[in-house]
Amino acid sequence: MEDEWTIVIGRRSKGRSRKPRPSLPKTTAPCRGLYPHQPPLHSDDDDDHLGESLLLTRKVEASIKKLQESSFFSAFLDQLQSPPFRTKLDQVLGSHPLIKMVVYGIGSIASCERARLQFAFAVLLRRALGFVAGIEVFDPVISPVESKVMESFDFSMIPTDEQGRRVAHEPTLFFMPHCEAVLYNNLLEANWGSPLLKRIVVLGNSFSGYEQFVSEFRGAHIAGSTNYIIGVREHTEEIEVKVDEEFFLPFHDTSWHFFELGSDSELPIGV
């Protein structure tokens, strides 16, 4: 199975494993709107909320079924269950039996099918792993109705905007497809150093894609919000998630990121 992966390790692999990208990895607007905060999408009437909750729950269940029965997710499970990939996860877990899961920037699951599919993917990922301690989620566009539906799937709402700066005191999987570069950068900055980075797995936009974009477009406005992404690339093993045409929009340019640092590994200071 390992030979079927697209793996990128540090800068030395740049250009061999991915086709050149003409543009920056993009978010999925209008599904998400991380900044500024937006008002709730629904009324405060309890009856309206109940009806909307039931309707949205059915839509989420339909997205889960659609994804679960797809060849895309079947191939993803093959990757997830392969012994080499399990070894990577075991290295992150260390002596811990469980891993936490944090979801940033999921977007509006009520108004956007792409966001619902990403939410459904998170639900199925937890089930497939079988050792997730719990899932926390934050996006300022999440409405009260959406929050209630997410909680019915055992997601917990993060009460404040962490802006991606969650410190991984325990092994943590960050599920962040199509988030803004600044959130990945903030996450890395908050965990800068070998002991913390080794506890993190990031499932989100390709870091090698950001590196290539910054390299090709020097002076681009995004350079200041990718310094930690670029700074950690030498110690990053990136495994691409293969996406077919049916699920291209919600999951394109998505990769796993594992951080392999020894006790004597040096990270750039003040990147």
pLDDT range class, residue 17, cuts 50, 70, 90: very low
| Bridging pattern class, strands 254-259 and 236-240 | antiparallel
| Bridging pattern class, strands 200-205 and 132-138 | unpaired
This prediction has a pTM of 0.84
In Å, what is the CA distance from 105 to each residue of 22, 44, 177, 245? 24, 24, 8, 23
Enter the DSSP assignment of 214.
H
CA distance 103 to 138: 6
Tokens 């607007």 label which residue? 29
pLDDT range class, residue 92, cuts 50, 70, 90: very high
CA distance 28 to 177: 9
* All domains of the chain in start order, with CATH: 2-15+45-259 (3.40.50)
User: Can you read off the two tokens belonging to residue 87?
Assistant: 């070894």
Tokens 């089930």 label which residue? 127
- The pLDDT tens digits for 183-218 are 999 999 999 988 899 999 999 999 999 988 887 776
- The pLDDT tens digits for 18-73 are 444 434 555 444 465 443 344 444 444 566 678 899 999 999 999 999 999 999 99
> Who wins on pLDDT, 181 or 50?
181
- Alpha carbon of residue 67 to chain centroid: 17
Position 33 scores a pLDDT of: 46
Q: Is 224 helix (H, G, I), strand (E, B) or coil?
A: helix
CA distance 128 to 132: 9
Q: Is the pLDDT of residue 81 over 80?
A: yes
Helix, strand, coil percent values for the chain (each to nearest 5): 45, 15, 40
| Average pLDDT for 70-89 | 95
- The pLDDT tens digits for 94-147 are 999 999 999 999 999 999 999 999 999 999 999 999 999 999 999 999 999 999
| Least confident window among 7-11, 217-221, 236-240 | 7-11
Tokens 């993009």 label which residue? 26
Position 207 scores a pLDDT of: 95
Position 267 scores a pLDDT of: 78
User: Can you read off the two tokens belonging to residue 110?
Assistant: 């009520």
Rg (CA), the chain: 18
Position 223 scores a pLDDT of: 62
Backbone angles phi, psi at 52, to 5 degrees: -65, -40
